[in-house]
Amino acid sequence: MYQALYRKWRPATFDDVCGQEHITEILKYETAENRISHAYLFCGPRGTGKTSCAKILAKAINCLSPINGNPCGECAACRAIESESATDVLEMDAASNNGVDAVRAIRDEVAYTPSGLKYRVYIVDEVHMLSISAFNALLKTLEEPPAHVVFILATTELQKLPATIISRCQRFDFRRIATDAIVGRLRYIAEQEKISLTEGAARILAKHAAGGMRDAISLLDLCSSGGETLDEAYVTASLGINSTESLHALVRAIHARNYEQIFEFIRTVAASSVDLAVSWRDLLSLYRDMLVVKSAKHPALYLDATEAETKQIAELAALFTSEELLCHLRLLDDALVQMQRDGSTKQMIAEMTLIRLCDPRLSDDPSAMLARIATVEEKVARLSLGIPDVPLAAPAQKAEKVNESAAADADTTIADKPTPLPTPTKSQSALKPLSYWLELVEALSKENRSAMGMRDGSRGYLDAANERIIVRFGDKFTMKMMSGDAAKAALAVQISTREGKNYPSERILYEYVEKGDTEGDDFFDKLENI
């Protein structure tokens, strides 16, 4: 009879448990030193090894020849527990036996000594499902059990347990297993089972398991049923999820306001086996990763991604401001709630939400309103200074045919606009430092938090010969945060006000200067003297 992989590859010793070393080392020590507690509480997400550790502990404390705290697996006690034929090790599922009668039966049994093992072990899985009366019946026995009895309680919802129960147990918190650890385990199992599994496919399985080793192995078992090579495309299709490339393309389409591509994505998902709500969660997760990249100095610490994947996410994040990402996340989350409430309108909800993401004017979200107000304030400030309003470039759209009169009008409009100037080089004339730079940055920081990073390691220079402003940054992240159209426009207003001359955002150029560079060293040495 075929045995499922997650059962076949269930850990047999503490050393086999993956990703829970902070727990297994303690249990090994207690077993080796014979410091057995009367009650253990294993809590944590599903599939992280709680039940496996409970069974290993039951074997270890009853093993006739333990090896450094691990069960030998060869003695009669280990074999009996492994085959589930040991009458002294009882496993109870509290989800189906949650009444007071089941607990009273245990209370009556604990008085009897073990029939064949050193300890009588009670493993109560999903213990949070017990009723209040059952907890009360268990309380006294759990506090003062006979010396030959050990209770091992396991739960995924610690908050549902009474404090009186928790206080009487030795508590161990199981963590979600790291993606890299799951990938390594999956590759090992695949090698032993003669399954062709690529690195990328293993990473997709690990991410989809959300930190649960059992779920990851079950997904591997599911995908390997076809007997084909498990690559990224095959695993993605088998699990019914969207590929990373399609989600990235969707985000770029949102930025470009490419409605055709957006509707095509929704149509494709709706026509496939992929649940739209699942795709939506993946999109939410991608936006979260983009916000992390946008906000954190070391985003790799908080992302479950490779270096190449992190770079791709950073490129997407650069397309939006932090405010836009927060607004989009809020709209996506609200849409997910609506999808879960009414499954028949998922497609319509998705389409409306994505259109709102493309154009903030269509959203009544507070953050979207604030972004629009900031744009209006910027235009008013420019007009009050006599600075002509320069509209932001519209997102890329498909080229359309125009008549001759329209083309003539467009040529006239373009001719009136200032011609973009080439990027200055080191060979150009000396730049004049802006003496009011620190004061300008402080004023700018009150309007835009991203400008706070400019307080340290940035300076502005006037290139009078070419009529432009040069801003030099010592921090790439801050430079990226200030590269948005709105941020540049606000900076242009501040500089134009102090110079008494119109400097549109097109004439403000950014440079990154590293310490160690000849020009850069001079720049940093003079920061405090400007």
pTM of the model: 0.62
Same fold, 5-173 and 179-239: no
Q: How would CATH label the architecture of 244-362?
A: Up-down Bundle (1.20)
Q: Would you state the pLDDT for residue 388?
A: 57
Of 423, 481, 433, give the one whose Cα is nearest residue 454. Answer: 481
DSSP state of 456: S
Question: Which tokens is 85 given?
Answer: 């034929």
| Topology given in CATH for the domain delimited by 179-239 | Helicase, Ruva Protein; domain 3 (1.10.8)
Instruction: Report the CATH number of the 432-529 domain.
Output: 3.30.300.180
Between CA 248 and CA 437, with CA 293 as vertex, the angle to 5 degrees is 125
The residue extents of the domains of the chain are 5-173, 179-239, 244-362, 432-529
| Topology given in CATH for the domain delimited by 5-173 | Rossmann fold (3.40.50)
Residue ranges, the chain, pLDDT below 50: 391-429, 516-521, 523-530
| 208 CB-contact burial (10 Å; exposed 0-12 / middle 13-18 / buried 19+) | middle
Q: Would you state the pLDDT for residue 515?
A: 55
Of 37, 33, 17, give the one whose Cα is nearest residue 66. Answer: 33
Residue type, 70: N
pLDDT for 277-309, tens place per residue?
888 888 999 999 999 998 888 888 888 787 888
310 alpha carbon, distance to own chain's centre:
11
Give the C-alpha distances (Å, rounded to integers) separating 519 from 35, 207, 426, 427, 511. 66, 45, 9, 11, 12
